Amino acid sequence: VLTSLVVCEISVLKSCSSGLSMFCSLCNIFSEKLTLPDADQHPEDFYVQKRLDSGGFSTIDLVSSRHGQEYFAVKRIKCFAEEDKTKALKEAKLHASLPQHENLLPCISFAYHPLAPAVENQNALGEVLLLLPRCKGRSLHCLLEGLKHTNSCLPPHEILRILAGIASGLQTLFSRNLAHRDIKPGNILFNLRNNPVLIDFGSVTTAAIHISSASEAAAFSDFVAENCTLPYRAPELFQITTGSVVTEKADLWSLGCLLFALCFYESPFDKISAMGDSIALAVTSGRIRFPDNRDKSRIPDEFIAFIRHMLTVDPEARPTIQEVLEFTSSWKQFDCANSGVSATNLPSLGAAQTA
């Protein structure tokens, strides 16, 4: 009888918009509450609805506003020592300071929350919270995995659209004398307008890193090992020595690996890792193998040539970010002209072709 009364009450609440808000507020009583500044930097309560992702020392939760009318994501970075807190706050401040750009996920606000000692907190001192816009539920990595398992593929105009978006976001970072250092499909989401957005700015450094001593070389090598994903890591990041300079061209190598993955589902070095061979040796020697059964109508020779250009061992021989954007622009026009697709109305991610 009690269950029937509750169901009946919920039905009544859902029957009007004001009732729905009341229903969401009642649900929020049972949700974890997080207090963060809103877009106007006024304190606001947000309520955790579900866990979206987790990895390492951070998690992503879907949260709702007090009345359930707006949804956001919150990145939660656990801090086990003051050093962790300093690093996480540095990431949050840098993220929040980035210029508004449709291909860079904005940080609306951030805050540090101390945590009471408890088993579930794993002795963490606190956590840094970043309030982020809600995106679609899957990363580019998940999209490519799904296409691979269903023997489907992205059409050329969609490959170019995604590459152009990420390149445009990178260009904005470069203009601020910054480099991302961890470009990969797992760090690309799609916003609610279906634009690709670059995420995870904990790996960001100044665009040019000058190594002037053995201790600096060792410290930067440790940074690379922790932050730069192996199958997308540039050759110069495997051999860091005194006197070397690492520039934003390392991101162009990673972007070349990303273009390869857009065409063939994975980095050019994933199979090498799976076979147990040395990725470092393959990368530094510039060995790039393309699938023998490539569909040339979908991945033309010019795409392959540009991937090779981006995956040049010598950083200075790689294209600039402007040249990448020019490549995507010229080929987008060609592809749309030959497929009858309007350049102003390119298909969304649902328009994957069957291979």
What mean pLDDT is predicted for residues 310-330? 97
Q: Is 9 helix (H, G, I), strand (E, B) or coil?
A: helix
Query: Taking the CB of residue 124, how many other CB atoms lie within 10 A of it?
Result: 19
pLDDT tens sequence across 94-120: 999 999 999 999 999 999 999 877 655
DSSP 179-205: E-S--SGGGEEEBTT--EEE---TT-E
- Span 9-25, average pLDDT: 43
As given in the structure block, the two tokens for residue 254 are 């990673």
**Confidence label for 15 from pLDDT (cuts 50, 70 and 90):** very low
User: Distance from first CA to last CA of the chain, Å, rounded?
Assistant: 55
Which pLDDT band holds residue 176 (cuts at 50, 70, 90)?
A: very high
Structure confidence at residue 163 as a pLDDT band (50, 70, 90): very high
User: Which one from 38, 45, 61, 182 is the annotated catalytic residue?
Assistant: 182
Q: Give the residue with greater pLDDT, 179 vs 296.
A: 179
- Enter the DSSP assignment of 129: E
Give the model's pLDDT for residue 246: 98
Is 182 an active-site residue? yes
Residue 73 vs residues 26, 65, 189, 253, 257: alpha-carbon distances, Å = 21, 11, 12, 30, 28
Q: What pLDDT, on a 0 to 100 scale, did the predictor assign at position 347? A: 36
Residue 202, burial from CB neighbour count under 10 angstroms (0-12, 13-18, 19+): buried
Q: What is the pLDDT of residues 127-150, one digit of tens each?
A: 999 999 999 878 999 999 999 999
Residue 125: pLDDT over 70: yes
Mean pLDDT of 220-244: 96
Residue 67's pLDDT band, with cuts at 50, 70 and 90, is confident
pLDDT of 348 over the 80 cut: no
The residue that leads in pLDDT, 61 or 297, is 61
What one-character-per-residue DSSP string does 91-105 give? HHHHHHHSPP-TTB-
To the nearest whole number, what is the mean pLDDT of the chain?
A: 85
Strand partners, 228: none
Least trusted range by pLDDT, from 34-48, 107-121, 233-247: 107-121
Q: What is the pLDDT of residue 12?
A: 37
Identify the pLDDT of residue 298: 82
For the chain, list the domains and their CATH numbers.
Answer: 33-133 (3.30.200.20), 140-339 (1.10.510.10)
Q: Which of 12-16, 125-129, 178-182, 228-232 has the lowest mean pLDDT?
A: 12-16
pLDDT at 64 > cutoff 50: yes
